[in-house]
Amino acid sequence: MFEPSCIGIFINPFFIARRGLLTHIKQLSSRVTGKTLDVGCGTKPYKKYFASTEYIGLEIETKTNASEKKADVYYDGETFPFDNKHFDSVLTNQVLEHVFNPVKFLSEINRVLKMNGVLLLTVPFLWDEHEQPYDYARYSSFGVSHLLSQHGFVVLEGRKSVNNVSMFAQLINAYLYKLVQKNKLLKQVVTLFIFSFITILGVVLGVIFPKSSDLYLDNVILAKKVKDV
């Protein structure tokens, strides 16, 4: 799901969004080095793209998520269980929108990150509500940059993932997916014959039509810690 190959067009309704994120993460992965903390790591889908000397996955501890995640450490959702300035780099992928208190969250990232350490953060801008009811926010490029600057970071590079016509194809697929997701057989049929067609059409039109500087699916931000907060 997170690393869609060409076959993913026919089995992954979220091919366009996932391919966009993977492309940017791979291109920026060389900047994420040393001892790395993956906050909200899930199944650690991007771990192999980072040349980290140590890679630690962190997740909130719940009654149900232990079997679904590959976290090395679980925490209470408030304070990261690590010493100050413990990591050289931090990754947090599609997590910030699920954080009710982003001030505390980013303060904790700042605290455990060494001075001049790197943060690679992705967060949706244009996307449906998901993982309900734990979906609290959407961030524009200006919003996430301002939030980071208030927590001791300077943005080194800000990218807008899927900023072409293919975003509309992805949103149509996301809409239809919600309608069929509870019916396993119907979901498989629709994915193979309808989602795939919409995806291919979106990819082709995305190449033909110009990109947008204002309308896109996800933010991909590379930032550096420049002060303690």
Tell me the one-letter amino acid at 71. Answer: A
Interatomic CA distance for residues 12 and 4, integer angstroms: 7
68, part of any domain: yes
The angle that helices 196-208 and 166-180 make with each other, rounded to 10 degrees, is 170
- Provide the number of structural domains found in the chain: 1
Gap between the Cα atoms of 141 and 143, Å rounded = 6
Nearest Cα residue to 86 out of 127, 126, 39, 121 = 39
Residue 80: the pLDDT is 97
Which residues constitute the domain of residue 125? 24-163+210-225
57 is written with which tokens? 């996955």
* Residues whose CB falls within 8 Å of the CB of residue 39, separated by 6 or more in sequence, listed in order: 58, 80, 90, 91, 92, 95, 109
Residue 134, domain member (yes or no):
yes
State percent of the chain over pLDDT 70.
97
Whether residue 114 lies inside any domain: the answer is yes
Tokens encoding 86: 């413990």
For residue 93, what are its two tokens?
A: 């992928």
- CATH code, domain carrying 108: 3.40.50.150
**Distance, CA of 204 to CA of 208 (rounded, Å):** 7
Model confidence pLDDT, tens digit, residues 34-91: 999 999 999 999 999 999 999 999 999 875 555 567 899 999 999 999 999 999 999 9
- Quote the mean pLDDT of the chain: 95
Residue 125 inside a domain? The answer is yes
pLDDT in tens, 83-118: 999 999 999 999 999 999 999 999 999 999 999 999
